[in-house]
Structure 1
Amino acid sequence: MRVTGDQALVKKLNKSIVLDTIRRRGPLSRTDVSERTGLNKATVSNLTLELLEQNLVEETGLGQSSGGRKPLMLIFNGAAGCVVGVELGVTLVKAALTDLNGEILFERSASLGGLDPDTAFDVICEVMEPLLQDAPETPHGTVGIGIGVPGMVDESGLILYAPNLGWKGVDLKSRMEDRFGVPVVIDNEANAGAAGEREYGAGRHVRHLVYVSAGMGIGSGMIIDGQLYKGAWGYAGETGHMSIESDGRLCSCGSRGCWELYASERAYAYAPLPGQHGQPREDDGVANSSKTLDSVEALNRLPSFTTAELIEHARQGDVKTVAMYAEVGRRLGIGITNLVNGFNPEKIVIGGPLTEAKPWIEPAMLAAIAERALPYHRRELAIAFSELGSRSAVLGAAHLAVSQFLGRVRVSL
């Protein structure tokens, strides 16, 4: 099949390549850009002039001479505009206003309060509006909004299914665009986290990366050969619903034994914790056909403790809490082993709210991976916790909005 494009498409593609090269590699001279992109010097000069006129690129200082005049160096102008990155969680909405380089200018958060779409929309707006009001004046203004959500999102931005929110077919994108009048990009929060770590955090320069987001649920964002992998229809990465117990606990997705019930903050609801007596009901038996959706939701109730509260008990040496985190770490390691054996990544990065408990989770997690992962797969595998902490998804969502604004072009065969 032949792929063709008119001159406008070719120019747009070349301009995107030039801008991306300057953004990632600057400061560069025009000759440097030509050599790195393979575009001739005249094309680079013309495209650079347009980028300068659009305030997306700046000339800064003089570079080293190779025999003639010293060249003017080019850098990306991160202050040309702003974006807002949002992470919609099960209990919390977080947002940050950033420049085009991902530098956080302001950030806010608020409790979600309710799981219905109307409540979530109102809280997102409540968090975002002060950020937009405080946004500095820039040549392009606020150019986009990126939102990471805990569920499956199709290529149009429709939230198809978010089991931990109880959502199906929610068009948050159109509603946000109508409210704020700027382009909105919506993706799974683990994909956003992977983009954030690849761009700004522990995944920089890694071409084969798996980012595991562990909070009230678990999701994975996968970078394969430098590109975010979404699968045939955009639903890849729902690893929290990978079964690790064939006849295990009922999950809100309708299945049993899902990884996130054992290795996320959901596990708190099933463990003996400070102040509790006896063992919580497990309901780990064989599925009963009479179980209803209501009973599934009851089994997956939100835990009564938060991670912030529990790590205080762990610091004080509470035996139950430390043992619980060791088991969560072991289960986390089992699931990660499946990803290692299946995808053979260069690096695994673990992020999300659960990483606050890293000191008590990490030893058992690493031991499980060392015991179970195939030897060739783990030989050069790097495992790290997020460098961005709780901001991975927020910054990744902001980056997705920046990428949309900068007009990255893809040509598919």
Structure 2
Amino acid sequence: MKQTGDLALVKKMNTAIVLDAVLRYAPLSRAQISERTGLNKATVSSLVLDLIDNHLVADLGPGASSGGRKPNLLEFRASSGYAVGIDLGVNYIRGILTDLEGGVVAEHRLTLKAQNVESVIPRLLECIETLRARIPACPYGMVGIGIGVPGLVNESGTILFAPNLSWPEVPLRTIVEERFGVPVTIDNEANAGAQGEQRYGAGRGIANQIYVSVGIGIGTGMILNKELYKGAGGFSGELGHLSIHADGKPCRCGNQGCWELYASENALLEQSAPLGYHDLDALLEAAGRGEPEVLALFERIGEALGVGIANIVNVFNPDVVIIGNEMRRAEAWIEEAVQRTVARRALAHHRGKLQVLFAEQGEKSAVRGAAYYAISAFLGKMKGSGV
């Protein structure tokens, strides 16, 4: 009995190794998998057959030959299932449908007029349903859902604290799983954004990076030594609530002088109201026309962003700080002020190799990262099952 158990465990481990090789290096042949993994050819052939039967790998037929018979090449079947990623913002819901390699197949965006739970949850479910309806015929259908939210989330997927939504404790994972019957991953939106940029954007291949999500509030996702850092309780990254003014304005979080009160999209909109501007689109248009007062406002916001980023740099000494979410759209008008302020305030040794970048995925970093959570969970399950 023990031997049977051991053999099953070995098969699961070897299946994971072979699937990883296909995911990383495809197109490649069975012989090349054997060379890369150290598994013998008979084992590889047997496992590849299982993966083909389970619709995770496709045989492309003969590839180029270097002499002798042409080897059949294999690739991952990214269209065998689809994942939904959701970025739940304070004033919007952004959703995407992706294949199993993260390629975006469909998008859907809703504007939120109200922030109470009773209004938002039905619209969130509506967004997911709209995306699910666009899944092509495939073996696995919707494999999972990832959701990034602007607040603290515990291990059971309950939102514990979301100051800009003013929500009580909301068991979001349970609500969504009961509706759709697939695994659901809930995480802080900034953590999802960090994952999105590491996987698909400006953070690719960078070991130490801090993603700064600048929307209605400010959140940060920290990837240290290539791993997402979540802290002892899983709640790290609330750097938007660092005090940058000791006797500053009161914040909904209970603190005062918080960074997000001076450098977020909400701070921008508060300061622009006397000028007659009430949304980011109008401000970006005015900046594009060269309106002096609007340009000066973006300059102040850029400086305030730079102050907080310099503090982050001095604490964490990252390789890269990536600015994302809605304020990424203002890059042309805030970048110079951000870079200048960081250069002036960060310690010289910390900023030596530092780069301050703007998210390659723009305002979609979090939604891409959320979809990646769902993909990663599905592939992890398939590897662990031994297929």
TM-score (norm 2): 0.91
Q: Does 1:341 find its partner at 2:332?
A: no
Q: Trace 1:22-101 onto structure 2 (pairs within 5 A).
A: 22-63=22-63, 69-101=69-101
How far apart, in 1, do the equivalents of 2:343 and 2:56 lie? 47
Alignment partner, residue 284 of structure 1: none
| 2:28 alignment partner AA | L
How far apart, in 1, do the equivalents of 2:345 and 2:107 lie? 40
Question: Are residues 48 and 93 of structure 1, via their aligned partners in 2, closer, same or farther at CA, if it must alter by over 3 Å?
Answer: same
Secondary structure in 2 matching 1:271: helix
Secondary structure in 1 matching 2:349: helix
Contact 2:209-2:320 within 8 A present in 1 as well = yes
| 2:353 alignment partner AA | E
Question: Are residues 68 and 346 of structure 1, via their aligned partners in 2, closer, same or farther at CA, if it must alter by over 3 Å?
Answer: farther
How far apart, in 2, do the equivalents of 1:10 and 1:253 lie? 50
With 390-399 and 24-33 compared, the bigger mean Cα shift is at 24-33
Alignment partner, residue 352 of structure 2: 379
Task: Give the CA deviation at 1:26.
Answer: 1.8
Contact 2:269-2:280 within 8 A present in 1 as well = no
How far apart, in 1, do the equivalents of 2:26 and 2:75 lie? 5
Question: Are residues 268 and 71 of structure 1, via their aligned partners in 2, closer, same or farther at CA, if it must alter by over 3 Å?
Answer: same
How far apart, in 2, do the equivalents of 1:148 and 1:221 lie? 12
How far apart, in 2, do the equivalents of 1:344 and 1:20 lie? 32
| 2:73 alignment partner AA | M
| 1:368 alignment partner AA | T
Task: Give the CA deviation at 1:8.
Answer: 4.1
Q: How much identity, in percent, do the aligned residues show?
A: 50
Q: Does 1:108 find its partner at 2:81?
A: no
Contact 2:148-2:190 within 8 A present in 1 as well = yes
Note the residue ranges of structure 1 that are not aligned, 5 or more in a row: 277-303
How far apart, in 2, do the equivalents of 1:24 and 1:213 lie? 29
Question: Are residues 31 and 149 of structure 1, via their aligned partners in 2, closer, same or farther at CA, if it must alter by over 3 Å?
Answer: same
| 1:25 alignment partner AA | Y
Task: Give the CA deviation at 1:120.
Answer: 1.4
Q: Does 1:16 find its partner at 2:16?
A: yes
| 2:267 alignment partner AA | A
Question: Are residues 405 and 116 of structure 1, via their aligned partners in 2, closer, same or farther at CA, if it must alter by over 3 Å?
Answer: same
Contact 2:272-2:278 within 8 A present in 1 as well = no
Secondary structure in 1 matching 2:220: strand
Secondary structure in 2 matching 1:376: coil
Contact 2:326-2:363 within 8 A present in 1 as well = yes
Q: Trace 1:75-224 onto structure 2 (pairs within 5 A).
A: 75-224=75-224
Contact 1:223-1:229 within 8 A present in 2 as well = yes
How far apart, in 2, do the equivalents of 1:272 and 1:139 lie? 51
Note the residue ranges of structure 2 that are not aligned, 5 or more in a row: none
| 1:232 alignment partner AA | A
How far apart, in 1, do the equivalents of 2:109 and 2:8 lie? 42
Task: Give the CA deviation at 1:105.
Answer: 1.5
How far apart, in 2, do the equivalents of 1:343 and 1:15 lie? 38
Contact 1:215-1:354 within 8 A present in 2 as well = yes
Contact 1:87-1:394 within 8 A present in 2 as well = yes
How far apart, in 2, do the equivalents of 1:40 and 1:154 lie? 43
Secondary structure in 2 matching 1:251: coil
How far apart, in 2, do the equivalents of 1:49 and 1:101 lie? 21
With 392-401 and 115-124 compared, the bigger mean Cα shift is at 115-124
With 318-327 and 263-272 compared, the bigger mean Cα shift is at 263-272
Determine which of 352, 367, 372 is the counterpart of 1:399: 372
Secondary structure in 2 matching 1:220: strand
Q: Does 1:240 find its partner at 2:213?
A: no
Q: Does 1:351 find its partner at 2:339?
A: no
Contact 1:268-1:305 within 8 A present in 2 as well = no
Secondary structure in 1 matching 2:101: coil
How far apart, in 1, do the equivalents of 2:227 and 2:31 lie? 27
Task: Give the CA deviation at 1:321.
Answer: 1.5
Secondary structure in 2 matching 1:164: coil
Question: Are residues 6 and 159 of structure 1, via their aligned partners in 2, closer, same or farther at CA, if it must alter by over 3 Å?
Answer: farther
CA offset digits 1:85-130 (Å, max 9, x no partner): 1110000011111111112211111122222222211011222222
Q: Does 1:332 find its partner at 2:305?
A: yes
Question: Are residues 257 and 54 of structure 1, via their aligned partners in 2, closer, same or farther at CA, if it must alter by over 3 Å?
Answer: same
Q: Trace 1:264-343 onto structure 2 (pairs within 5 A).
A: 264-271=264-271, 273=273, 275=275, 305-343=278-316
TM-score (norm 1): 0.85
How far apart, in 1, do the equivalents of 2:226 and 2:218 lie? 22
Contact 1:273-1:321 within 8 A present in 2 as well = no
Contact 1:274-1:321 within 8 A present in 2 as well = no
Task: Give the CA deviation at 1:232.
Answer: 1.8
